[in-house]
């Protein structure tokens, strides 16, 4: 059975204007590999209601899971929850369970529960809450769309709570063989080797280190024995590597 597929949708003008270097997608990509969910696309879009609605519909409709990051805080530019509700045809309002979580969180810390903070208890009808152990305000899952905060430590905590409950497949295994030659020097031999392992994926990633050209050859697959065979073939073909 093929692994479930996924897309990540990052919502935020701060990425598109170059102000912030996005890191949540990179973190989640690494976690999805471990649980056997195949990430097919990452998309970054702006804080625009109709843009979010359209992207959520398209990506949730074409993947087994859609994970979103950003736009669920208390300010005017936090519009993700309403857009996701519209994309799934759900109503959205302050929900009692989310309100209670926030109330308990603020009460324990002596923080005032303002109207702006109450906005973070707006949850689409029928959604399941995602725990936020960092700052209280929960994320949520509607259908196959998992809506999480953009602040990196909160995003990571939500991912850690969410992923164990999702059904994954065979984890993707990868091994790297590094050779200190330009990739063009080995391209022909590599092409021949790749053809011998139809169930594996091979990537070639050139780099320059202290002025010297090198290439990382990465073999990926879900069967440990096959990946080991592919890695051994790389070692045999390019014995000068490490």
The residue ranges that bind a copy of itself (CB under 8 A) are 10, 12-23, 25-33, 39-47, 73-77, 111, 114-117, 119-120, 151, 153, 172, 174, 182-185, 187-188, 190-191, 194, 201-208, 218, 220
Least separation in angstroms between residue 88's CB and a copy of itself is 22
Nearer to a copy of itself, 125 or 223 (CB): 223
Least separation in angstroms between residue 142's CB and a copy of itself is 23
H-state helical runs in the chain: 13-16, 24-35, 49-62, 80-87, 96-109, 115-118, 152-162, 183-194, 224-237
Nearer to a copy of itself, 75 or 91 (CB): 75
Nearer to a copy of itself, 197 or 229 (CB): 197
Return the H-helix or E-strand segment holding 64. none
Query: Are 216 and 205 a contacting pair, CB within 8 Å?
Result: yes
DSSP 120: G
Distance CA 222, CA 157 (A): 27
What SS3 state is found at 78?
coil
Distance CA 152, CA 160 (A): 12
Give the closest residue to 146 by CA, choosing from 67, 48, 240: 67
In a 10 Å sphere around its CB, with 0-12 CB exposed, 13-18 middle and 19+ buried, how is residue 21 labelled?
exposed
Least separation in angstroms between residue 96's CB and a copy of itself is 20
Least separation in angstroms between residue 123's CB and a copy of itself is 17
Least separation in angstroms between residue 126's CB and a copy of itself is 26
Q: How far is CA 102 from the centre of its chain?
A: 26
Nearer to a copy of itself, 89 or 94 (CB): 94
Copy the structure tokens of residue 157.
């905590």
Least separation in angstroms between residue 235's CB and a copy of itself is 18
Nearer to a copy of itself, 25 or 142 (CB): 25
Least separation in angstroms between residue 240's CB and a copy of itself is 17
DSSP notation for 123-172: EETTPEEE--TTTS--EEEETTEEEE-SSHHHHHHHHHHHGGGS---SPP
Nearer to a copy of itself, 32 or 158 (CB): 32
Nearer to a copy of itself, 79 or 90 (CB): 79
């Amino acid at each position: 059975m093929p692994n479930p597929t996924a897309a990540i949708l990052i919502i935020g003008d701060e990425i598109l204007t170059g102000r912030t270097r996005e890191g949540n997608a990179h973190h989640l990509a690494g976690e999805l590999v471990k649980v056997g969910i195949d990430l097919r696309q990452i998309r970054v879009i702006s804080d625009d209601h109709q843009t979010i609605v359209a992207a959520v519909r398209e990506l949730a409709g074409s993947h087994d899971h859609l994970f979103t990051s950003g736009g669920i805080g208390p300010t005017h530019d936090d519009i993700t929850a309403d857009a996701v509700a519209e994309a799934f045809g759900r109503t959205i309002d302050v929900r009692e369970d989310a309100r209670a979580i926030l109330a308990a969180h603020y009460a324990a810390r002596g923080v005032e529960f303002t109207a702006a903070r109450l906005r973070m208890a707006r949850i689409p009808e029928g959604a399941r809450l995602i725990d936020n152990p960092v700052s209280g305000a929960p994320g949520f899952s509607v259908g196959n769309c998992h809506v999480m905060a953009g602040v990196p430590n909160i995003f990571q905590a939500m991912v850690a709570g969410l992923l164990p409950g999702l059904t994954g497949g065979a984890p993707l295994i990868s091994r790297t063989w590094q050779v200190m030659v330009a990739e063009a020097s080995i391209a022909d031999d590599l092409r021949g080797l790749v053809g011998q392992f139809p169930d594996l994926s091979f990537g070639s990633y050139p780099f320059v280190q202290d002025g010297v050209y090198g290439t990382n050859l990465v073999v990926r697959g879900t069967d440990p024995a096959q990946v080991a065979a592919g890695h051994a073939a790389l070692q045999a073909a390019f014995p000068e590597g490490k």
